[in-house]
Structure 1
Amino acid sequence: MFQMITDSCCDLPAERLAELDVAFIPMVIELEGKEYTDDMGQSFDTDWFLAKLKEHAQPTTSQINVGRYMEYFRPYVEAGTPILYLGFSSGMSGSFQSAVQAVALLKEEYETVEISLIDTKSASLGEGFLVAEAARRKAEGASLMEVSQWVEAHKMQIDSWVTVDDLKQLERGGRISKTAAAIGGLLNVKPIITVDTDGKLRNVDKVRGRNKSIQHIVERTIANLQATQTKTVYLANAGDDEAAEKVIASLREKMPDVDIYHYPLGPTISSHTGYGCLAVFSFGTQRIAGV
């Protein structure tokens, strides 16, 4: 048997990860001079954090460093338990490279280190989607190699469609210029964002108004569901539950038998997207190529 591990950027609640027998490594968020642990809802005050985001607070996040990976991996290495780690996209964070370095250092200490690392090239519930599917296959008796091969073969099929309501956070993160954020705010422009083959966020379109942005990400998702003949969707939102319900209603209207897993967007990801972000994930056909 082997142990699956992920990180808190997968945005699956801690209770769900426990059900799936998946351990996780938390990210750290700093806000107003204090550090907070993104522990998947176990103690983190999500409502307080969302209220801060709505007030345009400016949290920062820290990637998982080499030492923390070693700390989390070491007990399994000492127990002789193989590890399969599914990590946050290397296109958005340096954490995955830290995991690679941690494994290299552990191999200098121990004769046997069985750790397989997979860069999911996804974020939030896109990563969580892969974690859940991998855990299901493990529970059905698949070996570490079989699960690993399945994830590598299918990770580029994770389809991500995202829209945000707060352009200030995108400006802070360097995704758009200060001028574009100001003009977009005045004109009520909402960006349409996806994740490309490099695991990076890509602005691919823009529409006027919240309702149009919701319909856009729903239509993109439905098109891929129909093309792949699948019906599972993961939805994450950073507050604005009313908008999330509109997404769900629209998905069900267009595809009544769709299976929707709806969870809050975690604080690590929402630190960069701002209040009101909506993100829909499904199995698609082909991602947009990186540049």
Structure 2
Amino acid sequence: MPSKIKIVTDSSAHFSDSALPERYDITVVPLGIRWRGRTYQEGVDLDPADFLAQLSEHHALPELLPPPLETLQAVYGRLARHTDRILSIHLSQAMHSTAQVAQAATQSLLGRCDISVFDSKSIGLGLGLVVEEAARLAEVCDSLDEIVRALRKQLTRLYAIFAVDRLTYLERHGLLSRAQRLLGEMMGIRPILTIEEGELLAMEKVRTPAQTVDKFVEFVLEFTHVERMLLLQSALQPTEQTQALIERLNLEFAQRDYPIDLYQPSLACYLGPNASGVMLYEAPLSAERRRAPYEVEEQE
């Protein structure tokens, strides 16, 4: 009987159930975050709430670093003692270089272990859901190719929208020019971002929290059947904007449970402090499908 496929990912993955990596024996490799003269390891020595709070007090921009090549080589080497197949799933290659480093690390085991590096084209909950699906499939399937094909189909059902408070983060990642950033700051503009084909893109702009809520609700209502949804914010307690969003969503959906969480330090390297967002996973269309947790109520 072939050995079980081992799953590897990076710390930018958000899991709805924090026990899931241990349950499925998923290896989570920490990303580095360089900020204010120090380098931290996400998920090891960096508290998300403290980091987001400190970001709002400083103008220095954090830099997201891939795991060192030697770290990934060591991870693959350790797992290769127990399996001959590894699936390494990482945040969007269009946003970061982690997948490229992972691909380079596979060369150290060429011919000894079949390692497939998969670009999730996402980050946060999107990456976490792809990893979760891969882990479930690896329990019942011993073909890397079949799992990868199934994951590619899943990518088409992942969506995200974000509102950013500090435009310097968008300038750093090439989404705004310096002139656009300065003008936006003068006018009090908050850009609305999305992820398309793995790229973080600016799509619209708003000026007030109420307008942000409007855009988020419009975004969610584009989907008739939503299987998973996560509201992201930078504070431990629900913000006024998040509460207003939930009130609006409650008018539209039959289900009343809206998970709220901090966005991770890795995502904060792109969004900055005081950002917000919605990440969702669309339910598959099937005549036999069960009722999705979030379905738009029909108006009488």
Question: For the superposition of Structure 1 and Structure 2, which TM-score range results when normalised by the shorter chain?
Answer: 0.7 to 0.9
Shift of 1:218: 2.6
Greater helix share, structure number: 1
Normalised TM-score (structure 1): 0.84
Q: Aligned partners of 1:205 and 1:28: how far apart in 2?
A: 31
Partner of 2:183: 183
Shift of 1:180: 2.0
> CA contact under 8 A between 1:92 and 1:200: conserved in structure 2?
yes
Percent identical = 24
Q: Deviations over 1:5-52 (max 9, x none)?
A: 11111133754433453221110111221111101xx54222321122
Identify which of 89, 107, 111 aligns with 1:86.
89
> CA contact under 8 A between 2:87 and 2:117: conserved in structure 1?
yes
**SS where residue 9 of structure 1 aligns?**
coil
Which structure 2 segments of 5+ residues have no match? 284-300
Identify which of 257, 268, 271 aligns with 1:270.
268
Q: 1:173 to 1:230 in 2, by over 3 A?
A: closer
Identify which of 39, 59, 62 aligns with 1:59.
62
Shift of 1:193: 1.0
Q: Aligned partners of 2:75 and 2:242: how far apart in 1?
A: 35
> CA contact under 8 A between 2:13 and 2:127: conserved in structure 1?
yes
Amino acid at match of 2:55: L
Amino acid at match of 2:13: C
Shift of 1:207: 1.9
Normalised TM-score (structure 2): 0.82
Q: 1:116 to 1:255 in 2, by over 3 A?
A: same
Partner of 2:35: 31
Partner of 2:101: 98
Q: Deviations over 1:55-87 (max 9, x none)?
A: 133222212342221121111112225222211
Total equivalences in the alignment:
275
Q: Aligned partners of 1:32 and 1:95: how far apart in 2?
A: 22
Partner of 1:282: 280
> CA contact under 8 A between 2:227 and 2:282: conserved in structure 1?
no
Q: Aligned partners of 1:57 and 1:37: how far apart in 2?
A: 18
**SS where residue 64 of structure 2 aligns?**
strand
**SS where residue 254 of structure 1 aligns?**
coil
**SS where residue 79 of structure 1 aligns?**
coil
Partner of 1:238: 234
**SS where residue 277 of structure 2 aligns?**
strand
**SS where residue 226 of structure 2 aligns?**
coil
Q: 1:223 to 1:181 in 2, by over 3 A?
A: same
Q: Aligned partners of 1:11 and 1:245: how far apart in 2?
A: 22
Q: Deviations over 1:164-198 (max 9, x none)?
A: 1222222233321233223222322221111112x
Q: Aligned partners of 1:206 and 1:158: how far apart in 2?
A: 22
Q: Aligned partners of 2:29 and 2:88: how far apart in 1?
A: 10
> CA contact under 8 A between 1:134 and 1:147: conserved in structure 2?
yes
Q: Aligned partners of 1:53 and 1:17: how far apart in 2?
A: 28
Q: Deviations over 1:101-143 (max 9, x none)?
A: 1112321xxx42122221011112121222233334445x344
Q: Aligned partners of 2:255 and 2:108: how far apart in 1?
A: 48
Residues 1-291 of structure 1 aligned to structure 2 (within 5 Å): 1-12=4-15, 14-39=18-43, 43-55=45-57, 56-107=59-110, 111-139=111-139, 141-145=140-144, 146-197=146-197, 199-224=198-223, 226=224, 229-239=225-235, 241-242=238-239, 243-257=241-255, 260-284=258-282
